[in-house]
Structure 1
Amino acid sequence: MTIKEIREKAREMLKGYCRVCPICDGKACRGEVPGMGGIGTGSSFVANVEALSKIRLNLRTIHDAKEPDICVEMFGKKLDMPILAAPITGSSYNMGGRISEEDFIQMVISGSKEAGTIGMCGDGGDPVFYESGLKAIRNENGHGIAIIKPRSNDQIIKRIKEAEDAGALAVGIDIDGAGLITMALMGQPVGPKTKEELKALISSSSLPLILKGIMTEDEAEIALEVGASAIVVSNHGGRILDHTPGVAEVLPRIAEKVKGKILIFADGGVRSGVDVLKYLALGADAVLVGRPIIHAAFGGGKEGVKLILEKIAQELKQAMILTGCKDIKSIDGKVIYIMIILVE
């Protein structure tokens, strides 16, 4: 199986829902929500990709970083890469339904584990979304993370307990899903959370809790204050609010405030190992990959998911060799080229 074969099969399987463009940048699918696009003008999806593309790297080849180590440890597991599969649901209404929700998420969770990393499952208006994710995690002996929509606290706590029973490594709330159209269409109310509500959720379980959807420094500091174990800097793939900045634009300021105090994931527009390197250099501890995982699953099943994750990991290693980074901890701002404009 090759990447080309995966993409060709994915294009066939996702016909009418995703074009599997040569460059997945959100321009051809503007406004296609439900679907695979960004909401409204699609500018938030586009911003994620364009913000990353504008970053330039410093090429360095006089050093000893000949065999970079990209292993990391998180949630009590040693991972072969700082690259995780993002929580994705909606195979039926966002992706055409040619793969069932249960089969899709099993491909993601199993393929991620076989690649030496972690897959996340998500939540949605149909109970089968979350149930399928927990089943997949249970099938892999707890090797997965369950992300829950920002429902009422009692409904979230119920789902946290179910994740505990499935043996999940961690749980999370994708608070950036507070305005999801698809949830509203399915009669499942979601909304923002107060600090008090978040504290109650975090105190309800011994599992690490992740807050996904942090895009400002003040909310990153709130996440730290309430006791979250990790944050995901994310605009929900550009699918909830039009005209947000790209993740790479806000990440450095967030990292400046909370780096080293809380685990930081970056999510949005990752298409290659070079993109991973950029996010790590901007302050992330690890990244999430979304749409490429969908293409991989529809085009190659769990083997496709494994292959795409390993491909991105190999590209990260190559980029580290060419920027002088021998391990993940050595990736910092020196990797980024900053143009200085002299004004006379």
Structure 2
Amino acid sequence: MDLQTVRSQAKDKLKGYCRVCPVCDGRACAGEVPGMGGTGTGISFRNNLTALASYSLNMRTLHGVSNPSTETELFGTKLSSPIMGAPMTGTPYNMGGAISEREFIGMIVSGSVQAGTLGWTGDGADPAMYTSGLEAIAQEKGRGIPIIKPREQKVIIDCIRRAEEAGALALGVDIDGAGLVTMALKGQPVGPKTKEEIQELVAATKLPFILKGIMTVDEAIMAVEAGVSAIVVSNHGGRILDFTPGAASVLPAIADAVKGKVTILADGGVRTGVDVLKLLALGADGVLVGRPLVVGAFGGGAAGVKLLLDKMTAELKQAMILTGCQNIKDIDSRVIYQA
């Protein structure tokens, strides 16, 4: 299996929903939500990519780094790479339904595990979405992280119990899903949460609790105060609120405020291992990848997901050589060029 074959097969299966563009920048699919695009003008989607592109790297070659390690650890679990599969759902209305929800998330989780890392799973208006993710995680002996929509507290706690039963490594809520219209239309309201409500959810489980969708310093600090184990700096792939900045734009300030107090993860616009290097240098401890893995899954199943993750990890390793970073912890602000 090669990348060209994966892309060709994915383009056929995703026809009408994703064009598998040479550069996945959200221009062709702007406003296609449901679908694979960004909300409204698509600027939030594109801002994720332009924010990453705005950073240049310091190339260093006078050092002894020739075989760097991309290994890292998350919640006590060793990973071959800091790159993980992001939580994604909605194959019928976002991706065309050529493969089922269960098949898709199984490919994401299994492909991620085969690559030595983790696959995250999502939640949605159809109960089968969350259930499918838990089944995929259980099949991989708990090597996955389910993310729950910001539903009513009792419903979230029930979802937490089910995640615990599936043996999940950790779990969380994507608070950036607070404005999802599709959930409300299906009679499953979602919305913002107070700090006290997050504290209640953190206290409801012994598993590490993650809050996904943090985009400001004040809310990062509130998340830490609420006792979460990790945050994900994310604008929900540009699919929730138009005209938000890219994750890479807000990450440095958030890292300055809470680095060392909480695990910081980030997603949005990640297309290469060099993008991963940038997010790590800007303060992230790990990175989630979304849309590229949709192409991997639809074009090559779990093997296609593994192919894409392996490719990004190889690119990350090469970039580490050329910036003088022996391991993931060596990647810091020195990597970023400052004019």
Same fold (TM over 0.5): yes
Equivalence for 2:175? 175
What is the CA–CA distance in structure 2 between the aligned matches of 1:95 and 1:180, rounded to whole Å?
A: 17
* Larger CA deviation: 293-302 vs 180-189: 180-189
Give the drift of 1:50.
0.7
SS of residue in 2 equivalent to 1:337? coil
What is the CA–CA distance in structure 2 between the aligned matches of 1:290 and 1:223, rounded to whole Å?
A: 23
Output aligned runs, 1:54-203, within 5 Å: 54-203=54-203
**Which amino acid is 1:103 matched to?**
E
Equivalence for 2:287? 287
Give the drift of 1:9.
0.6
Equivalence for 1:342? none
What is the CA–CA distance in structure 2 between the aligned matches of 1:183 and 1:290, rounded to whole Å?
A: 21
SS of residue in 2 equivalent to 1:57? coil
Output aligned runs, 1:45-56, within 5 Å: 45-56=45-56
SS of residue in 1 equivalent to 2:92? coil
**Which amino acid is 1:202 matched to?**
V
What is the CA–CA distance in structure 1 between the aligned matches of 2:285 and 2:184, rounded to whole Å?
A: 33
SS of residue in 2 equivalent to 1:213? strand
Give the drift of 1:185.
3.0
Equivalence for 1:238? 238
Equivalence for 1:220? 220
Output aligned runs, 1:296-335, within 5 Å: 296-335=296-335
**Which amino acid is 2:143 matched to?**
H
What is the CA–CA distance in structure 2 between the aligned matches of 1:88 and 1:75, rounded to whole Å?
A: 21
1:194-252 deviations in Å (ceiling 9; x for gaps): 01100100000000000000000000001100100000000000000000000111000
1:157-200 deviations in Å (ceiling 9; x for gaps): 00000000000000010000000132233221000000110010
Give the drift of 1:261.
1.0
What is the CA–CA distance in structure 2 between the aligned matches of 1:230 and 1:333, rounded to whole Å?
A: 21
Equivalence for 1:249? 249
**Which amino acid is 1:96 matched to?**
G
Q: What is the percentage of aligned positions where both structures have the same residue? A: 64
1:14 is aligned to 2:45: no
What is the CA–CA distance in structure 2 between the aligned matches of 1:186 and 1:322, rounded to whole Å?
A: 50
SS of residue in 1 equivalent to 2:308? helix
**Which amino acid is 2:192 matched to?**
P
* Larger CA deviation: 277-286 vs 174-183: 174-183
Output aligned runs, 1:254-269, within 5 Å: 254-269=254-269
What is the CA–CA distance in structure 2 between the aligned matches of 1:10 and 1:165, rounded to whole Å?
A: 34
**Segments of 4+ moved more than 2 angstroms:** 184-187
What is the CA–CA distance in structure 2 between the aligned matches of 1:278 and 1:224, rounded to whole Å?
A: 24
Give the drift of 1:64.
1.1
SS of residue in 2 equivalent to 1:212? strand
* Unpaired segments ≥5 residues, structure 2: none
What is the CA–CA distance in structure 2 between the aligned matches of 1:185 and 1:81, rounded to whole Å?
A: 39
TM, length-normalised to structure 1: 0.98
SS of residue in 2 equivalent to 1:56? coil
* Unpaired segments ≥5 residues, structure 1: 340-344
SS of residue in 1 equivalent to 2:66? coil
**Which amino acid is 2:100 matched to?**
S
TM, length-normalised to structure 2: 0.99
Alignment coverage as a number of residue pairs: 339
SS of residue in 2 equivalent to 1:120? strand
1:284-333 deviations in Å (ceiling 9; x for gaps): 00100000010100000000001100100000000000111111111111
1:5 is aligned to 2:1: no
